[in-house]
Chains A and B, each alone.
Chain A
Amino acid sequence: MINILSPIQYIFVVTIVLYLLDSIWEIGSLFRPGRFSKRLADYFILTGLSFHCAFLIVVSIRSGTLPISTLFESSTFYLSLIVLLSVILKFLYRLQSLTPFVMPIVTGFSIASVALVRNDLTLTYNLKTFWLYAHIIPIFLGYASFSVSFILSIMYLTQERQLKKKAFGPLFDSLPSLETLDALMWKTITLGFPLLTIGLVSGTVWAKTSNILGLLWYLDPKVLLGSLTWLVYAAILHLRLGASFHGTRVALVTIAGFIIVLLTFIGPFLMGHNHGYEKRSLTLEQEIAPETTGITKVKS
């Protein structure tokens, strides 16, 4: 698989190595703070993120558009936003225990995303429109925000369980208070929701005006799942604001919401619906196809 990687993609391999080291140091510093220094962990995550951004910038410059031309690129773009958001939250709220939860997951997904390099699905339509930016950037930021809120809910449930069961493990000291986690969960959801809304609205406008998803664009699985995600998070907002819905239950629903986010992101691909992505070879065929069918029609 290695020889499939282009030289640029090796920048991403460096990123993965740094993320892996960071994950080890982040988890190590929770359990053995003497041996694994937090400063070194900060160094790993920051250089890792820099390499990650450098990779995405190079990719963007080469393709002249956002790094979403292939499934591999869009996955790494999404992961970089999660890391970026986590780093911001970590330093803004002195939340030492967030990255130990985020980084192993991000590292795992990063490694998995390398497998997507072989996947040659490519965006088929004109990528330089305003609508692409208006659709993709808010949607990706929204998804990253929901992903962080998902990790915060896991942290919340871990801490909640320790407090309820009176079993105070080594994580007890490093995890923040339930109130802090609850507030951050709320913040990331309320950040993600408007972004998702903007992304969905601009996507709708784009689909209707440019006809890229066909006339039945609203039946595209990604569109349907995206709307479902929107409904789930709208429900969370409603429940938390309106009804007596706090803490544990919000955390559980947030986790459910994230599973739908994941489904929206990769599900349609797995099911064979491509939401504007096509196989490279297919696109070529499609360009020729109308003529050939025309000829066959004539012949018949």
Chain B
Amino acid sequence: MNLHTVGLNHDSAPVEIREKIAFSASSVPIALSSFVHSFPLSEAVILSTCNRVEIYATSSDNSLNKESLLDFISAFHGLPKEKFADHMYHYQDMDAVRHLFFVASSLNSGVLGETQIISQVKEAYITATTAETTGSILNQLFQRSLNVAKDVHTRTSIGKGNISVSTVAVDLAIKIFKNFSEKTIFIIGAGEMCELVLKHLVERGAKTAIVANRNYDKAKSLAEEYDGKAINYENLDDYLPQADVIISSTASPRHVIHTEHIRNAIKARRGNPMLLIDIAFPRDIDPEIAKIDNVYLYDINDLNKVANSNAEDRKKDIGNCVVIIDKEVEKFMAWFEELKIGPAIAQLRNHFHEIGEQELERLRPKLGEIAHEEWEHIVYSMQRTLNKILHKPAKVGKEKAKNGGGYQYVETIKHLFGIHHKDDSKK
């Protein structure tokens, strides 16, 4: 009984290969049922995202290995094995468990600490349970992996602080304004980054947007998308006093917004704060503006600095994440080994008691007439002897299981006493 993972990710394979190996959401259930069809005693979960494709599988017979899993992928996608085999990694047992815990906790993600992967792992697991291709082992493994991921995210700062420029801008905005429903967002230049920030602010409740662009049509199309108003670029200054948040990213080589404009605007706003975000390079907004009271100005450098320092903070916490994960891997492996050792010990016990019963049966006729009580004493004494003999090996077996290697230990004992794999032959 082993656990296997084969897969590839953004590190191990170029996007062209990943595309070919990927399972679409609709093909995952089909692949799962075809997998358990090929390996009847197996459990399987397929995790397929834009960054990774992985199969987690276990089987109670020893039919699974790297080759058989690669063969399955090759057959399912109709792709010769040589084309992708070099990009695939394979982990077994403890390494497979550790890998999944790393993946779920997003330590293996392109963007460290992103939370999307948790829901993707959950999704993959639910799909597999719906397809009825999970059993006690993968259920336990995936449920634990989700708990580990949650633990890692709450107990470390791996997911804290935004690390993209647009979300950092929003982080700053929410420390100045309470709610955005009555705020006016003024977009100057209709670039992609502006739109991204606007989109985040709209998600936070912003309802009013003004867009100014040298190309009026462009401004109009962006404004329409967010129920905003497009204005003529020349009239820009007239609208400044209305703006609570100004996001600027024009291609202009000179400053677009000057100190005087903002000084007048803030006077007209009676001191109500303004947030100015300058994503342009060279800058659109005169940096002197930052000195005006109740005006908060951030340029692309400031935002990058915050994003980078957040990313650094996340990296610093990797060590703590690994500590949490390793502890959980250990716990899972103990459970996994115990799971394997439980039936083995039962088998050992049955074997000895069978021998005992046979001996008792042989003894009974030889004793002739004896009291029922006396016979019970004999039976009891035999059972006690056997239990005493078996106590130590069973205890050591369970201890070994917790530290790994329990399975091998029991196998040796079984071998020593000539116990055959009854379970295996039954299956």
Which size class do B's interface residues fall under? Answer: 20 to 34
B85 at the interface (CB under 8 A from A): no
Cβ contact within 8 Å between A179 and B176: yes
A180 to B155, CA, bound (A): 28
Cβ contact within 8 Å between B293 and A180: no
Cβ contact within 8 Å between B271 and A244: yes
A243 contacts across to B, CB distance below 8 A: 270
B174 at the interface (CB under 8 A from A): yes
Which stretch in A66-74, A138-146, A159-167, A227-235 binds the other chain? A159-167
A172 to B296, CA, bound (A): 15
A247 contacts across to B, CB distance below 8 A: 271, 273, 293-294
| Contact A246:B175 (CB < 8 A) given known A164-B290, A164-B296, A166-B302 | no
A286 to B302, CA, bound (A): 70
Q: Which of A34, A163, A166, A177 contacts B178 (CB under 8 A)? A: A177
A178 at the interface (CB under 8 A from B): yes
Cβ contact within 8 Å between B175 and A249: no
Cβ contact within 8 Å between A246 and B178: no
Cβ contact within 8 Å between B271 and A178: no
A183 contacts across to B, CB distance below 8 A: 178
CB closest residue in chain B, given A183: B178
B298 at the interface (CB under 8 A from A): yes
A245 contacts across to B, CB distance below 8 A: 270-271
Cβ contact within 8 Å between B273 and A178: yes
Most buried by A among B172, B271, B298, B306: B271
A248 at the interface (CB under 8 A from B): yes
- Proximity string of chain A (144-187) to chain B, C-beta cutoff 8 Å, 1 when within and 0 when not: 00000000000000010001101010001001111110010000
B176 contacts across to A, CB distance below 8 A: 163, 177-179
Cβ contact within 8 Å between B272 and A246: yes
A175 contacts across to B, CB distance below 8 A: 175
Tell me the residues in window 254-283 of chain B with beta carbons closer than 8 Å to chain A beta carbons.
267, 269-273
B76 at the interface (CB under 8 A from A): no
A183 to B293, CA, bound (A): 18
- Proximity string of chain A (124-148) to chain B, C-beta cutoff 8 Å, 1 when within and 0 when not: 0000000000000000000000000
CB closest residue in chain A, given B296: A163
CB closest residue in chain B, given A247: B294
A264 to B177, CA, bound (A): 35
B305 contacts across to A, CB distance below 8 A: 166
B303 to chain A, nearest CB (A): 10
B151 to chain A, nearest CB (A): 11
Cβ contact within 8 Å between B294 and A246: yes
Tell me the residues in window 296-313 of chain B with beta carbons closer than 8 Å to chain A beta carbons.
296, 298, 302, 305-306
A177 contacts across to B, CB distance below 8 A: 174-178
- Proximity string of chain A (68-96) to chain B, C-beta cutoff 8 Å, 1 when within and 0 when not: 00000000000000000000000000000
A45 to chain B, nearest CB (A): 24
B155 contacts across to A, CB distance below 8 A: 34
Cβ contact within 8 Å between A159 and B175: yes
A179 contacts across to B, CB distance below 8 A: 176-178, 273
B294 contacts across to A, CB distance below 8 A: 246-248
Cβ contact within 8 Å between B175 and A172: yes
A63 to B269, CA, bound (A): 54
CB closest residue in chain A, given B295: A164
Tell me the residues in window 249-266 of chain A with beta carbons closer than 8 Å to chain B beta carbons.
249
CB closest residue in chain A, given B303: A166
| Contact A246:B271 (CB < 8 A) given known A164-B296, A166-B298 | yes
A7 to B305, CA, bound (A): 58
A268 to chain B, nearest CB (A): 36
B273 contacts across to A, CB distance below 8 A: 178-179, 246-247
A278 to B270, CA, bound (A): 49
B174 contacts across to A, CB distance below 8 A: 177
Q: Which of A34, A164, A166, A246 contacts B270 (CB under 8 A)? A: A246
A34 to B160, CA, bound (A): 13
CB closest residue in chain B, given A172: B175
> Can you list 23 residue pairs at the A/B interface with Cβ under 8 Å?
A34-B155, A159-B175, A163-B175, A163-B296, A164-B296, A166-B302, A168-B306, A175-B175, A177-B174, A178-B175, A178-B177, A179-B176, A243-B270, A244-B269, A244-B270, A244-B271, A245-B270, A245-B271, A246-B270, A246-B294, A247-B271, A247-B273, A248-B293
Q: Which residues of B contact A (CB under 8 A)?
A: 155, 172, 174-178, 267, 269-273, 290, 293-294, 296, 298, 302, 305-306
Q: Which residues of A contact B (CB under 8 A)?
A: 34, 159, 163-164, 166, 168, 172, 175-180, 183, 243-249
6 closest residue pairs by CB, A with B: A246-B271, A244-B270, A179-B178, A244-B271, A180-B178, A179-B177
With A179-B177, A244-B270, A245-B271 known, 6 other A-B pairs at CB within 8 A are A163-B175, A166-B302, A178-B177, A179-B176, A180-B178, A244-B271
